[in-house]
Amino acid sequence: MFVRCFAGAIVGIKAVKVDVEVNVAGGGIGLFLVGLPDNAVKESEQRIRSAFENSQCRMTARKVVVNLAPADLRKEGSGFDLPIAVGILAATSQVLDTRLADTMFVGELSLDGGVKSVRGILPIAVMAKEAGINRIVVAAESAHEAAIVEGVEVIPVATLREVVEYLNGDIDIAPTHSTTFAEQEAVAAPFAEDFADVKGQGYVKRALEIAAAGGHNVLMIGAPGSGKTMLARRMPTIMPPMTLEEAVEATKIHSVAGKLSDTVGLLTTRPFRAPHHLTSQVALIGGGQSPQPGEVSLAHNGILFLDELPEFGRNVLEVLRQPLEDRSITISRAKYSVEYPSNFTLIAAMNPCPCGYYNHPTKECSCQPFAIHRYFSRISGPLLDRIDMHIEVTPVPIADINAERQEESSATIRERVVAARKVQLQRFNGTSIHANAMMNSAMLRKFCPLQADVRALLERAMERLNLSARAYDRIIKVARTIADLAGEEHISAAHIAEAINYRTLDREGWGQHK
């Protein structure tokens, strides 16, 4: 007997519909899997046999051929256990096949017949809706994730026996319903940190506000204990809230990577990733034998914080060039390639020299000029060129730390950031651009025209600081964000001057005035 049911295969952060074709016939014995399965799929035979035995189901002694179509697409993971098992049960008349035509099955089988969750449930549910499939059967623990997708009935199951009884009509399982995005935002835990906790550092707070408003990359340079990490970890508190589309896209990546907890259906706050400086290239950029998203993709629509930037391996840092420029990363293998989005805001921090006290107001630096220059040169010019703002963070005097003055809260700063982002969304309406940092050259000419005096100021600064054409564009983008925060339509000389001021830590001049 021949039966067809449906499953899903993950390719990047998207899913592809897979037809699970099962044919049971005479002329041999055993289970034969074809259709380019990987080892995890091939091993499903033993899991299925044990699950059948512990679920009061029988495995036929006749020859069973299972084809996973399209046959030229590599099938990976244990999520094919459940659809293969259902196909065999239907082909041997142990379950009715009346619901198979509009149902997709995803799940791993344990030896005792339990159904376990697998990675990538959200993109599979999205694909099921696009393919016109009305129902998806998943493990109960991942049902809330699939239920994010409206228009698809999500059936949660705990065991294979439940699946059998459900398909035969012996029991009725209520579909899982997810709360709306607005409801999940309303119950999201408040931030534990706040900019009000940071004393002083008005100049740095202003720069980070601009970065949050326009999606600009920032490098903070300062002595140990000056507050770089404290400031960076408070960046999510002033970032604008994610739209539903941004939240779904970010959740897809975390779902594929297996980073979602059982209680989180949809990410409601922007990701904040802070990998250690011993992180490898593959961990940062993504990849592996079966490519998985790296930190740059897990930070999509959020923040990637690299503390102690020069301590990262040079080769590790250099792989950031493409995602910083293209906002996506392509991982290629001999027979296929996958693309992961990586539209993140880079916040980096570093000491000014090996000892950490160059330019410190009270402590003496013990480093020689060549050592300072060599330390700073661990960050290549092309990478530094892709960072919009370079900020010097100086230690806060004790008097300011003990001052009773109330600092501005994250909520107040966030209000200004949200207002500036609304202006940008209106400006880029109808495009995939939603922040000034994402503008291309054509958009710069259209949305950032400069008056003659403003252009002359910028040209003089470019000559004096010996900056590149890329830095020229990035200064204009930062100035555009400063103007948006001020509620002004045109970029003025003051906006350009402030943007230039955030480029003064130029690598060629650093360490030359000891």
Give the mean model confidence (pLDDT) for residues 104-124: 95
Give the mean model confidence (pLDDT) for residues 338-364: 90
Comparing 88-97, 257-266, 468-477, the range with the smallest average pLDDT is 257-266
pLDDT at 89: 96
Comparing 87-101, 140-154, 187-201, the range with the smallest average pLDDT is 187-201
- pLDDT-derived band at 506 (thresholds 50, 70, 90) equals low
CB 313 within 8 A of CB 286: no
Query: What are the pLDDT digits (tens) for 379-432?
Result: 888 888 889 999 999 888 877 777 777 889 999 999 999 999 999 999 999 888
| pTM score of the predicted model | 0.89
Task: Provide the mean pLDDT of the chain.
Answer: 89
Q: Which residues contact 493 (CB under 8 A, 6 or more apart)?
A: 453, 454, 457
CB 511 within 8 A of CB 376: yes
Q: What percent of the chain has pLDDT over 90?
A: 61
pLDDT at 184 over 60: yes
Q: Which residues contact 425 (CB under 8 A, 6 or more apart)?
A: 434
- pLDDT-derived band at 186 (thresholds 50, 70, 90) equals low
> In this predicted model, which residue has the larger pLDDT, 66 or 25?
66
Give the mean model confidence (pLDDT) for residues 448-465: 89
Q: Report residue 246 as tokens.
A: 């941004």
Question: What are the backbone dihedrals phi and psi of residue 17, each rounded to the nearest 5 degrees, phi first?
Answer: -70, 135
pLDDT at 13 over 80: yes
CA separation for the pair 270, 275 (Å, rounded)? 16
pLDDT at 187: 62
pLDDT at 264: 66
pLDDT at 507 over 50: no
pLDDT at 358 over 60: yes
Query: CA 267, 273, 275 angle in degrees (round to 5)?
Result: 150
Comparing 8-22, 390-404, 476-490, the range with the smallest average pLDDT is 390-404
CA separation for the pair 313, 292 (Å, rounded)? 21
Q: What percent of the chain has pLDDT over 70?
A: 95
How are strands ordered across the β-sheet holding 303-306?
272-273, 303-306, 345-350, 218-222, 389-393
- pLDDT-derived band at 281 (thresholds 50, 70, 90) equals very high
pLDDT at 231 over 80: yes
In order, the DSSP letters of 28-40 are --EEEEESSB-HH
pLDDT at 488: 93
Peptide bond into 310 cis (omega under 30): no
Give the mean model confidence (pLDDT) for residues 426-454: 90
CB 135 within 8 A of CB 152: yes
Query: What are the pLDDT digits (tens) for 194-225?
Result: 898 888 888 999 999 999 999 999 999 998 98
In order, the DSSP letters of 357-416 are -TT-SSSPP---HHHHHHHHTTS-HHHHHT-SEEEEEPPPPHHHHT--PPPPPHHHHHHH
CB 9 within 8 A of CB 73: yes
The residue written with tokens 């319903």 in the block is 177
pLDDT at 160: 97
